Chain A
Amino acid sequence: MRAMNVVVCVKQIPDPASPGQLDPSDHTLVRQGKLILDDSDAYGVEMGLRLAEAAGGGEVTLVSMAPNSEVSGLRTALAMGAAKAILVSDDTLKGSDALSTAKVLAAAIQRANPDLVLAATESTDGYTGTTPAQVAELLGWPSVTFAKHIEVTGGAVKVDRQTEAGYDQVECPLPALVTVTAGVVEPRYPSFKGIMAAKNKPVDELEVADLGLSPDQVGWSGARQAIIDVSAAEERKAGEIIEDEGDAHERVVSYLEQLKVI
């Protein structure tokens, strides 16, 4: 058995339970207040931990990019059992587009030299869904997106990959990048012991220059796209609301009749 070192890309995002906002001056997502671990990343963290356990050795390293040295989301993943984290935090990163983000993550991943990189299929806040494929291409690695099952055997990763029609069984040699869907594994809750241990786990904080990237490749200066207009969508209005008194189905039937569905 060989040790299995896994990098999990995690994003720290504003709590999705509170309504999102764009900064009116520069159209970036408002990221004030405490950031939390993106729910979709908990699956990758859990999967990484299980793969390292199954290999009988190795560890999970988190890689994240965030403003203001934010670590609260990372601590959640460290409490689940990840060994350490690499956090790229730099004022010049503000305004980075998906490709610039991918360049930063790819450079940070290279420092960790993992066997496997796991990421969510898309983040909950920005959901561009292209960053993982961009990272894999920048690393020159194979990638398998939309995994619903993952196994590692003999230097290769086997993935059941979601498709329109069902799923494909895909195999690729390591190192590789795999994106995971929510169905891949049930994430554990951090234990009290885990939460205490997470406080002392190393978070290696880097700036863009540490990664060998120039400031004009990231942030506003690196972005090759610009939001030029933001407007409110036409609201769908609420229609008729009825309380069921035992006969609400009759109203549904008459509504369906009115629509000529029945």
Chain B
Amino acid sequence: MAVNTIWVFAEAFQGKPLSGTLELLTKARQLGGTVEAFYAGGDADAIAPQLGAYGATKVYTTGDLGDALLGTPVAAAMAAQIEAGNRPDLVLFAMTYDGRDVAGRLSAKLDRPVLTNGLDIAVDGDVVTVGTAIFGGNTLVTTAYKSDPPFLAIFRPKSFAPEEGGGATPEVVTVDVPDTGAAGAAKVLDRHVEERSGPKLDEAAVVVSGGRGLGDAEKFEMIEELAKLLKGAPGASRAIVDAGWVPYAYQVGQTGKTVKPTVYIACGISGATQHMVGMKGAKNIIAINKDKDAPIFSIADLGVVGDVHKVVPKLIEALKARG
């Protein structure tokens, strides 16, 4: 068996496909075979042209699922297609909140394993392997599926570069959503969108992050000011998110955002492995930390052993003086 058909669980926000979705469509196209998207939402017709441009030749949609949390109904709809004989060899998910829910539930429904935290995927004849990194990224592991297909895999953001393939607008096919009973009873009552100004953390060319070394929550203002001066986005370590200094949306790391900016400036961050996983893909890393033994210095291109409360304000003044 080679890989003939690949499904990508497609997600969109405000009518625009997520970057992770476009990354996976691009990779799926490169693997060969037929690429199809599986989308949950009432606006499949509107986003189909963009999914097609990145490689989808067909878009399955559940239609509008109303206030249902996506995991259960989408997994049930996928499983129903597969059980009816519409069988993909591979189903790819981006590592999003809903992506993980759908993949986990589909895995249990089909009794197939799901490989997670993927950074790469390869097909060699009958063997499909997924590459992941462990121990904070210092060890690469290649895992092969031993089950029958479909093979399920979840990929970390930015594992592949999205590239348009110039495909036509795909056919949109509405699929049945089986009754999921109690398992599908979770309902979204309300959605809160937290407003942020400036570039998005995972898209910014410059990211300035603060950690425990800032000392207290108010000092995060200087991180925001420095980020603004560099037209970048402020980020944070898990320690100060857990401490409640900044919202979770700022978190860079294993459980937060993966960023790959041109410059990452870590201020008062020691460099726990779970933080490094999210930022070691930055092209250039500047670290400012009092502790000369902080692990962050082992990956920094420019390390400043010094007090963030002294270095950062002077840096801000110097940048302001440049106008």
Which of A164, A165, A259 has the most CB atoms of chain B within a 10 A radius of its CB?
A164
> In the complex, what residue of chain A is closest to B79 when comparing beta carbons?
A137
Q: Evaluate contact between A233 and B191: CB separation under 8 angstroms.
A: no
Residues 215-262 (chain A) with a chain B CB within 8 angstroms:
223-233, 235-244, 246, 248-253, 255-256, 259, 261-262
Of B22-30, B39-47, B167-175, B312-320, which stretch is located at the interface? B312-320
> In the complex, what residue of chain B is closest to A241 when comparing beta carbons?
B303
**Interface residues of A toward B: which range?**
35 or more
Q: Does A122 contact B (CB under 8 A)?
A: yes
Chain A min CB distance to B208 (Å): 11
B contact residues around A248 at 8 Å (CB): 288, 304, 306, 311
Q: Does B129 contact A (CB under 8 A)?
A: yes
Partner of B129, one of A97, A165, A228, A244: A228
A185-218 Cβ-contact flags toward B at 8 Å (1 or 0): 0000000000000000000000000000000000
Of A58-66, A81-89, A176-184, which stretch is located at the interface? A176-184
Q: A144–B107 Cα gap in the complex (Å)? A: 17
Chain A min CB distance to B21 (Å): 12
Q: A181–B100 Cα gap in the complex (Å)? A: 15
> In the complex, what residue of chain A is closest to B241 when comparing beta carbons?
A183
Q: Evaluate contact between A252 and B302: CB separation under 8 angstroms.
A: yes
Q: A16–B134 Cα gap in the complex (Å)? A: 13
Q: Evaluate contact between A144 and B192: CB separation under 8 angstroms.
A: no
Residues 173-203 (chain B) with a chain A CB within 8 angstroms:
181-194
Q: Does A170 contact B (CB under 8 A)?
A: yes
The SS class assigned to the A binding surface is: mixed
Q: Does B163 contact A (CB under 8 A)?
A: no
Q: Evaluate contact between B187 and A225: CB separation under 8 angstroms.
A: no
Chain B min CB distance to A227 (Å): 5
Q: A64–B286 Cα gap in the complex (Å)? A: 41
Partner of B183, one of A136, A235, A238, A262: A136
Q: Evaluate contact between B134 and A224: CB separation under 8 angstroms.
A: no
Partner of A130, one of B103, B134, B141, B299: B103
Chain B min CB distance to A168 (Å): 5
Q: Evaluate contact between A97 and B113: CB separation under 8 angstroms.
A: yes
Q: Does B146 contact A (CB under 8 A)?
A: yes
Q: Does A172 contact B (CB under 8 A)?
A: yes
Partner of A253, one of B101, B141, B319: B319
Q: Evaluate contact between A164 and B230: CB separation under 8 angstroms.
A: no
Q: Does A25 contact B (CB under 8 A)?
A: no
> In the complex, what residue of chain B is closest to A146 when comparing beta carbons?
B97
B contact residues around A228 at 8 Å (CB): 129, 142-144
Partner of B192, one of A122, A137, A168, A242: A168
Residues 91-133 (chain A) with a chain B CB within 8 angstroms:
97-99, 102, 121-122, 124, 127-133
Q: A246–B314 Cα gap in the complex (Å)? A: 9
Of B49-57, B69-77, B84-92, B211-219, which stretch is located at the interface? B69-77
Q: Does B140 contact A (CB under 8 A)?
A: yes
**Interface residues of B toward A: which range?**
35 or more
B contact residues around A242 at 8 Å (CB): 302-305
Q: Does A54 contact B (CB under 8 A)?
A: no
Q: Does B114 contact A (CB under 8 A)?
A: yes
Q: Evaluate contact between B186 and A99: CB separation under 8 angstroms.
A: no
B contact residues around A239 at 8 Å (CB): 300-303
B contact residues around A235 at 8 Å (CB): 138
> In the complex, what residue of chain A is closest to B96 when comparing beta carbons?
A164
> In the complex, what residue of chain B is closest to A16 when comparing beta carbons?
B273
> In the complex, what residue of chain B is closest to A131 when comparing beta carbons?
B104
Chain A min CB distance to B180 (Å): 9
> In the complex, what residue of chain B is closest to A128 when comparing beta carbons?
B116
Q: Does A27 contact B (CB under 8 A)?
A: yes
A and B contact pairs by CB, cutoff 8 A, 18 listed = A124-B274, A129-B116, A130-B103, A130-B104, A134-B105, A137-B105, A137-B107, A137-B183, A143-B186, A144-B69, A144-B186, A163-B191, A182-B242, A183-B242, A227-B142, A238-B299, A244-B304, A259-B284
Beyond A133-B71, A138-B108, list 19 extra A-B contacts (CB 8 Å): A102-B108, A128-B117, A133-B105, A137-B105, A148-B248, A161-B97, A162-B248, A164-B96, A166-B249, A168-B189, A170-B189, A182-B242, A229-B140, A236-B285, A236-B298, A238-B298, A242-B302, A261-B262, A262-B230
> Which chain A residues have a beta carbon within 8 Å of chain B's beta carbons?
16, 19-20, 22, 27, 97-99, 102, 121-122, 124, 127-138, 140-146, 148, 158, 161-173, 176, 181-183, 223-233, 235-244, 246, 248-253, 255-256, 259, 261-262
In order of increasing CB-CB distance, the 9 nearest A-B pairs are: A244-B306, A133-B104, A224-B147, A137-B108, A172-B186, A239-B301, A166-B194, A130-B104, A229-B142
> Which chain B residues have a beta carbon within 8 Å of chain A's beta carbons?
13, 18, 69, 71-72, 75, 95-97, 100-101, 103-105, 107-109, 111-117, 129, 133-135, 137-147, 154, 181-194, 205-206, 230, 238, 241-242, 244, 248-249, 254-255, 262-263, 273-274, 280, 284-286, 288, 292, 297-307, 310-311, 314-315, 318-319, 322
